[in-house]
Amino acid sequence: MNLLPQLPSLKAKVILEDIASESNCEALNPKGDFKVEGIHYVPTGGQIINDESLDKLRKDIVEKAEEYGFPGTYPKSFLEFEFEVAKILSKWPYLWIDEEPSGESFRNEFWSYLSIVLMPDIVSWRWGFPSEGEPTKSWSVRFLGGGRNAFQRIFRRIISLDRGPTHEDRYGLIRELKEDDFSNILERTSLGSNSRIAIPLAEEYLAMRKRRKDMKASNQLKIYREATKDLRSYGVVQSLDVINLDDLKKLITDVFLKREDLVLREIKESNRGLVSSTKSLLKKVINRK
C-alpha cells in the first residue's frame, strides 16, 4: 500500500491565510515543490508515494483545466471539467486497491494536502478568492478535507455513482447530473453513500426529469425531495440494502411515479384555482362598469 501525504488542519489553516491574501491563481503554482512543514504519513506500514506520482496527477488535472479555460476568469464549464477530474481520480492507482477505495483515500487530511499544497491554483481558479483577502468558512471548506472539499466531493461522486467497469457508460451519471443533483443525492447519506442505492436513485432522478421535461425545475425538485423522504421512511421498516436489486429499482420507480402524480394533481388544482380567481376578478371589473 502507498502512503499519501497528510496535512493537519492546524497547519492547513495557516497556509490558507496566505492563499486567501493572493488575487492571482497563477501565483499559487507549487512549481514542483510538494513539501511543506507539518506534512506527515500515517504509520500503518507501506511505501510513501514519490513526488513523481504526485506531479503526474497534478499535470493531468492542470492539462484538463487548461482545456476549460484555466487560468482565465471565463471558464467554459466547471461541471464538465469536474467530470474530467472524476475520470482522472478514478484511474489514479494510489486511491484504489482492487477497484475499491483505499484506506488512505478516506483521510480528510490527504484531501487538504491535495488542495492546499498540490493544487491550490486549480482550487482558487474554481472557487475564487475571498473578497476581503481573509479565509471565510464557506471558502475554506473548498480547501480543507471534508464533504465540500474541491476534490474530495468529486471522489465521493465516483464512490457512489460509478456503475462499474462492465457498464457501457460507466461514468454516465457523473456526466449527466448537475451540481445541485449531486448535493441532493450525496448529502442524504442514508441513500447517497451506498452505491447500490445511489445508482438506481440517480438513474430514476434523470428518468423523471426526462418524463417531466415540460415541468418547472422547482416541481421536479419537489418530486425528488418527497420521493427520497418516502424511501428513507421505507428504509426504517425494511433495510434497502437487503432488497433484491430488481425489486429495489422497482420500488424507487414506483415511489417516484406516485409523487409525480401527486404533484401533477397539485398543479392542476392550483391552475383551477387561478382560473377561478381570474374569472371572479373579471366579473367584478365588468359589474363595476
Same domain, yes or no: 30 and 136: yes
Domain presence at residue 172: no
Does the pLDDT value for residue 275 go beyond 90? no
Indicate the number of domains in the chain.
Answer: 2
Same domain, yes or no: 203 and 272: yes
Rounded to whole angstroms, the Cα distance separating 15 from 7 reads 10
Same domain, yes or no: 152 and 192: no
Residue ranges making up the domain that contains 58: 1-167
Same domain, yes or no: 153 and 12: yes
Domain endpoint, select from 138, 167, 196: 167
Dihedral angle sign, alpha carbons of residues 14, 146, 89, 103: positive
Determine how many CB atoms are found less than 10 A away from the CB of residue 249: 16
Same domain, yes or no: 138 and 43: yes
Owner of C-alpha cell 471558502 = 139
Does the pLDDT value for residue 90 go beyond 70? yes
Domain endpoint, select from 146, 167, 188: 167
Specify the pTM: 0.89
Question: Which pLDDT belongs to residue 1?
Answer: 79
Strand ranges (E), 82-212:
96-97, 100-101
Question: Which pLDDT belongs to residue 76?
Answer: 84
Same domain, yes or no: 87 and 198: no
Same domain, yes or no: 78 and 193: no
Beta-carbon contacts of 141 under 8 Å, excluding residues fewer than 6 positions away, are 148, 149
Residue 134 backbone phi and psi in degrees, to 5: -130, 145
DSSP 205-263: HHHHHHHTTTS-HHHHHHHHHHHHHHHHHHHHHS-GGGS-HHHHHHHHHHHHHHHHHHH
Instruction: Evaluate whether 116 touches 16 at the Cβ level (below 8 Å).
Output: yes
Domain presence at residue 59: yes
Does the pLDDT value for residue 276 go beyond 60? no
Helix, strand, coil percent content, the chain, rounded in steps of 5: 65, 5, 30
- According to DSSP, the β-strands at 100-101 and 96-97 are antiparallel
Q: pLDDT over 70 for what percent of the chain?
A: 94
Rounded to whole angstroms, the Cα distance separating 54 from 278 reads 65
| Poorest-pLDDT segment among 12-21, 180-189, 197-206 | 180-189
The 10s digit of each residue's pLDDT in 208-250 is 999 999 999 999 999 999 999 999 999 989 899 899 999 999 9
